[in-house]
Amino acid sequence: MTIEWGWFPDHIDEMTRLTADHLSTALSAVFFGLLIALPLAVIAHRFRPLRGFVLGLSNILYTIPSIALFVLLLPVTGLTRTTAVVGITAYTLVVLVRNTVEGLDTVPAKAREASTAMGAKPLRTLFTVELPLALPVIMAGVRVATVMSISLVSVASAIGQGGLGQLFIDGFQRDFPTLVIAGVALTLLLALVADAVLVTVQWLATPWTHKRGA
């Protein structure tokens, strides 16, 4: 297997475009995943009996093979990016819902009680006390979901929405390993960079977790 290094400088535009597509599909999925997971998790956390049901449902979604899920969505959304985003969103739920519920579990009862006792209404307590304190665990979920989505976008090549995954497909079809290597390397790089950005965001958003003790 030889790599044709000359291919790279000639295809910077294409690589940039595919990377941007890839990232935007993955991030959209994580964004919509959070939009769905947060309320679901809050409800599952508040009403204990619903917890098993909600977590079970997100687990079941996760067990559907990704290709099958894209195919199932085809009649509804067609060969569009929407299909890819909807499919991947469904997969992010398993970590996002679970981590949000577990994050809310880590909120000290005293902090929640103090907020209520000082006259904060439930929604205010949720946004100003519970979610901020659950943030480290939620962010851990967001990191997993993001890396997972970045890898799943390639699978959506099957419906022509694979981002960098398009490079593997082309590489295999044309028996041109350089493309496969380029696709793998860029996907990996993208995942690493995205994770590093999230770690930084979390560090900045949770100053209380890394200040020295008394």
Of 132, 140, 177, 195, which lies in the binding site for another protein, with binding defined by CB under 8 A? 132
Of 133, 139, 142, 190, which lies in the binding site for another protein, with binding defined by CB under 8 A? 133
Interaction between residue 47 and another protein (CB under 8 A): no
DSSP letter assigned to residue 49: H
CB of 191 to another protein, least distance (A): 29
Please enumerate in sequence order all residues whose Cβ is within 8 A of that of 57, keeping only pairs 6 or more positions apart, or say none: none
Looking at residue 74, its amino acid is L
C-beta of 100 vs 146, nearer to another protein: 100
Of 110, 123, 173, 175, which lies in the binding site for another protein, with binding defined by CB under 8 A? 110
CB of 102 to another protein, least distance (A): 17
Residues between 158 and 187 with contacts to another protein, criterion CB under 8 A? none
Taking CA atoms, 198 is separated from 29, 55, 107, 136, 193, in Å, by 15, 25, 22, 11, 9
Number of residues that bind another protein (CB under 8 A): 23
C-beta of 48 vs 110, nearer to another protein: 110
- Catalogue the long-range contacts made by 122-127 (C-beta closer than 8 Å, 24 or more residues apart): 126/42
Question: What CA–CA distance (Å, rounded) separates 196 from 194?
Answer: 5
* Extended strands (E) in the chain: none
- Binding segment for another protein (CB under 8 A), chosen from 13-21, 42-50, 79-87, 118-126, is 118-126
